[in-house]
Amino acid sequence: AQKITQTQPGMFVQEKEAVTLDCTYDTSDPSYGLFWYKQPSSGEMIFLIYQGSYDQQNATEGRYSLNFQKARKSANLVISASQLGDSAMYFCAMREGRYSSASKIIFGSGTRLSIRP
């Protein structure tokens, strides 16, 4: 069965520093997708970045990058040059199977990131 684990309930980081949010996953399916979402205090879910299991390179989206280590089954989110607006809950998620239309997507328990000015 698929499983997502986020071991950091909360983190404090100084503004402008880089931060790494940990995510490990477990699946027996060779085809899967990994996502990161941000949830600010407003409650909306904001998509940040996606990594497919067959993608050769680590995904990047602006200040966000995904450190994908397939053998270790980890998909850590790296935020460079953190900003006060980055303070939020961050969720890692996984989809087993090649297409979302054929498989469920489950989420980790989240990491609350707080940026100090």
Q: How many CB atoms lie within 10 A of CB 64?
A: 16
Tell the smallest beta-carbon distance from residue 70 to another protein (Å).
Answer: 18
Q: Does 41 bind another protein (CB under 8 A)?
A: no
Task: Give the CA dihedral 93, 95, 99, 103, nearest 10 degrees.
Answer: -130
| CA angle 40–44–64, rounded 5-degree value | 60
Q: Name the one range near another protein by CB under 8 A: 17-25, 40-48, 69-77, 80-88.
A: 40-48
CA–CA gap between residue 54 and residue 102 (Å, rounded): 17
Tell the smallest beta-carbon distance from residue 40 to another protein (Å).
Answer: 13
Q: Name the one range near another protein by CB under 8 A: 17-25, 31-39, 62-70, 73-81.
A: 31-39
**Of the candidate residues 43, 62, 85, 117, the single one contacting another protein (CB under 8 A):** 43
77 and 61 Cβ atoms separated by less than 8 Å:
no
The residue among 78 and 106 lying less far from another protein, judged by its C-beta, is 106
Tell the smallest beta-carbon distance from residue 81 to another protein (Å).
Answer: 24
CA–CA gap between residue 92 and residue 68 (Å, rounded): 12
Q: Name the one range near another protein by CB under 8 A: 21-29, 67-75, 78-86, 90-98.
A: 90-98
